[in-house]
Structure 1
Amino acid sequence: MAHTPVNHPARPIYRAIGGLTGLYLVAFGVLGVIASAGNEVLAQDDTQVLGQSTNLGLSLLSALLGAAVLAGTAIGRNVDVAINQWLAYALMVISLAGLALIRTDANIFNFSVATVIVLMVVSLVLLVVGMYGKVGTDEEKEAWQKARLVL
């Protein structure tokens, strides 16, 4: 996208924030697996971790997505930008679907309102990190600055 900054000066900070977000997702997933051990994968019970309702399925999904964010952060070279942006959109869709299905039998990930809010915040953080973490050549940076000044 032409309006996405290239070589932003705060890029290392955004990359670190992305890594911390991935660590949070992994920690939530691991703690959720421990707390929901012995339950069904998609159980709808009162299992809570870090103030959020969860089950084994959501915990495994969170750990997997967090590992993907951490892998992207470790690789860098705009791989993290793509992973962060796509996972941000996926988490938004998952959390909105969870909000829509929160009081039904279709609530397979045992969402609560707190879980939806946290997932939305995590997805917005990943989206911002993805937008400001792009690395490019000097020519791409110059083209972005020229396009920015025209606006």
Structure 2
Amino acid sequence: MATHTLHPGAKGRGRHIRLDEELPVDHRLSKVYRAGAGLMGLVLLAFGVLGLIDKVGFFDTRGDTVAGLNTNGALSVLSIAVGLLLFAGMVIGGNTASTLNMVLGAAFVLSGFVNLALLDSRYNFLAFRIQNVLFSFVVGVLLMAFGMYGRVSGGLPHDNPYWKARHPDQARPIPRVGRAQHPGRAR
């Protein structure tokens, strides 16, 4: 289960959870993190492969279109690399997939802002257009949502491992009740 670390000099002020704590192997949140990484990885991998098949120049900025988005060889290779990284996160699962989703999601949102500023400049090496910027924002927000799901919220349920890690004094093991003994069921 989760371990807790107190920051030096923070006697009793509060406990802090580290992002690299492990979930139980079979925890249902891991499925969400894996699904998000796999889905977004598949989309990026497909976009990158279609861009390479189209034989666009590596730093060509004239704006060849693949699947409604502008691309060039550099953007295609970058999309394939990030897609494979997300697939690796999907295979690993757990907090690794969650953290990877959050970090790459933030990177996509940041990339959207940077490329928005570079749209009509000579520094637009990835051949971004406004539809690419919007795609970057959407993928970034989706990745962050998948990564933060069940991990960042003010109303986490009391059986959530992150809630338990943040409130160890209030978290107690939930007794397993058999079907016949469940209070809400008829005997």
Equivalent AA in structure 1 for residue 51 of structure 2: G
Residue 78 (1) aligns with residue 95 (2) = yes
Instruction: Tell me the matched-pair count.
Output: 141
TM-score of the superposition, structure 2-length normalised?
A: 0.65
Per-residue Cα deviation, 1:26-72 (whole angstroms, up to 9, x for no partner): 0001111111x262x11111311110001000111011001101110
Larger Rg: 2
Separation in structure 1 between the aligned mates of residue 122 and residue 82 of structure 2, nearest angstrom: 25
2:44 maps to 1:25: yes
- Picking from 125, 131, 139, the partner of 1:122 is 139
User: For structure 1, which runs of at least 5 residues remain unmatched after alignment?
Assistant: 147-151
**Compared with structure 1, are the counterparts of its residues 9 and 113 closer, same or farther at alpha carbon in structure 2 (3 Å cutoff)?**
same
Counterpart secondary structure, 2:136:
helix
Which residue number corresponds to residue 149 of structure 1? none
Share of identical aligned residues, percent? 34
* Cα distance in 1 for residues equivalent to 2:166 and 2:42: 32
Aligned to 1:60, the other structure's residue is in SS state: helix
**What is the TM-score when the length of structure 1 is the normalising length?**
0.80
Deviations 1:56-94 (A, max 9, x none): 001110110011011101111311112111111111121
* Residue pair 2:59, 2:126 contacting (<8 A) in 1 also: yes
Give the residue type in structure 2 aligned to 1:124: V
SS in 2 for 1:109: coil
Q: Which one of the candidate residues 114, 119, 128 is aligned to 1:111?
A: 128
Could you tell me how far apart the structure 2 residues matched to 1:16 and 1:117 are?
Answer: 22
Runs of 4+ with deviation above 3 angstroms: 6-11, 137-141, 143-146
Which has the larger share of helix?
A: 1
Q: Does 1:142 align with 2:159?
A: no
**Bigger relative contact order, structure 1 or 2 (CA pairs below 8 A, ≥6 apart):** 1
Structure 2 gaps of 5+ residues are 1-15, 152-158, 169-187
**Contact residue 78 and residue 133 of structure 1 kept, 8 A:** no
- Measure the CA separation in 2 of the matches of 1:139 and 1:55: 43
